[in-house]
């Protein structure tokens, strides 16, 4: 990246960061919420230098969804941040990220849960996870159908090196406001899960990860605690 391009992008990201932060705060207030909404910066395709700039502005949480890209970039990251893994995760890749992330949002099979548990045990830690729900029932998407959620939660809850923190979803593309219905469904699943697992070992349900660049304000209305923002913060991805 040339210096000029980089300087332009830095001021672009600065403006975006403050604008989005204000929108998040306004949406939170409008929803009558007194709890926190975390602004996650989704870093795919974004150079480490720009990611670091977002951290210097106040981003505390980075979302990574490509294992190889994350491994290539993470040593260049600097500042005060934590990393959550949010992308589709193959079981054979878990070992590469287990000591580098503090939460995995994309757990959608017992096989993956078992592998994370095994690697977490080997690393001497407990890994926080979210269960990913395919709320629109789309074939192209990861995540389990809503009907299988309680079964997966019960099975994953048996593992000693996992702590289940909540749910994640990517709803279908919003057509005429259709995403509200999916967010509302997620909110219900989330509160049911919280009620049914309260006080149980392996469960501490406090995280609902939903809402991206195009729909985060609606997601906040329906209780999202982490909004995952990529293009609105960093600009459109070329690939």
Ligand X SMILES: *Cc1c(COP(=O)(O)O)cnc(C)c1O
Binding piece for ligand X, criterion CB under 6 A, among 115-123, 157-165, 179-187, 209-217: 209-217
Angle (CA) 59 90 38, round 5°? 20
| Selection from 64, 54, 47 nearest residue 5 by Cα | 47
8 A C-beta contact, residue 212 and residue 228: yes
Rounded least distance, CB 204 to ligand X, Å? 22
Rounded least distance, CB 232 to ligand X, Å? 6
Rounded least distance, CB 229 to ligand X, Å? 5
- DSSP, collapsed to helix, strand or coil, labels residue 98 as coil
Other beta carbons less than 10 A from residue 5's beta carbon: 9
8 A C-beta contact, residue 103 and residue 130: yes
Rounded least distance, CB 184 to ligand X, Å? 19
Contacts with ligand X, 141-180, as mask; x by CB under 6 A: -----------------------------x----------
Name the closest residue to ligand X (Cβ): 230
8 A C-beta contact, residue 142 and residue 108: yes
Report the residue from 164, 212, 220, 226 that binds ligand X according to the rule CB under 6 A: 212
Report the residue from 9, 51, 59, 87 that binds ligand X according to the rule CB under 6 A: 87
Burial profile 79-105: b = 16 or more Cβ within 10 angstroms, e = fewer? eebebbbbbbbeeebbeebbeebebbb
8 A C-beta contact, residue 66 and residue 97: no
The verdict on 101 binding ligand X (CB under 6 A) reads no
Binding piece for ligand X, criterion CB under 6 A, among 27-35, 177-185, 190-198, 230-238: 230-238
Cα–Cα distance measured from residue 87 to residue 105, given in angstroms and rounded to the nearest whole number: 8
**Per rule CB under 6 A, count of chain residues that contact ligand X:** 14
As given in the structure block, the two tokens for residue 70 are 């994350």
Binding piece for ligand X, criterion CB under 6 A, among 12-20, 48-56, 143-151, 224-232: 224-232
> Whose Cβ is closer to ligand X: residue 40's or residue 162's?
40
Rounded least distance, CB 23 to ligand X, Å? 13
Exposed / middle / buried, residue 36 (Cβ in 10 Å: 0-12, 13-18, 19+): exposed
Report the residue from 181, 194, 231, 235 that binds ligand X according to the rule CB under 6 A: 231
Cα–Cα distance measured from residue 127 to residue 163, given in angstroms and rounded to the nearest whole number: 6
Beta bridge pairs of residue 208: 167
Q: Which of residues 14-73 bind ligand X (CB under 6 A)?
A: 42, 44, 65
Q: What are the residues binding ligand X (CB under 6 A)?
A: 42, 44, 65, 86-87, 170, 212-214, 228-232
């Amino acid at each position: 990246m040339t210096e000029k391009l980089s300087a332009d992008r830095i001021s672009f990201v600065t403006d975006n960061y403050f604008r989005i932060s204000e929108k998040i705060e306004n949406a939170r207030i409008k929803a009558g919420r007194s709890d926190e909404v975390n602004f996650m910066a989704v870093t795919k395709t974004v150079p480490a230098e720009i990611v670091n700039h977002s951290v210097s502005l106040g981003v505390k949480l980075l979302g990574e969804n490509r294992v190889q890209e994350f491994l290539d970039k993470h040593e260049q990251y600097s500042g005060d941040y934590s990393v959550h893994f949010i992308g589709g995760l193959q079981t054979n890749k878990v070992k590469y990220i287990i000591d580098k992330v503090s939460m995995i949002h994309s757990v959608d099979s017992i096989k993956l849960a078992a592998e994370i548990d095994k690697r977490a045990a080997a690393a001497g830690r407990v890994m926080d996870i979210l269960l990913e729900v395919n709320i629109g029932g789309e074939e192209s998407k990861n995540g389990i159908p809503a009907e299988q959620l309680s079964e997966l939660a019960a099975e994953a809850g048996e593992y000693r090196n996992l702590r289940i923190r909540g749910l994640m979803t990517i709803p279908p593309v919003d057509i005429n406001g259709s995403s509200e219905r999916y967010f509302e469904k997620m909110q219900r699943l989330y509160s049911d899960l919280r009620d049914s697992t309260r006080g149980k070992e392996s469960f501490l349900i406090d995280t609902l990860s939903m809402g991206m660049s195009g729909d985060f304000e609606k997601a906040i209305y329906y209780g999202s605690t982490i909004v995952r923002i990529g293009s609105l913060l960093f600009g459109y991805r070329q690939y």
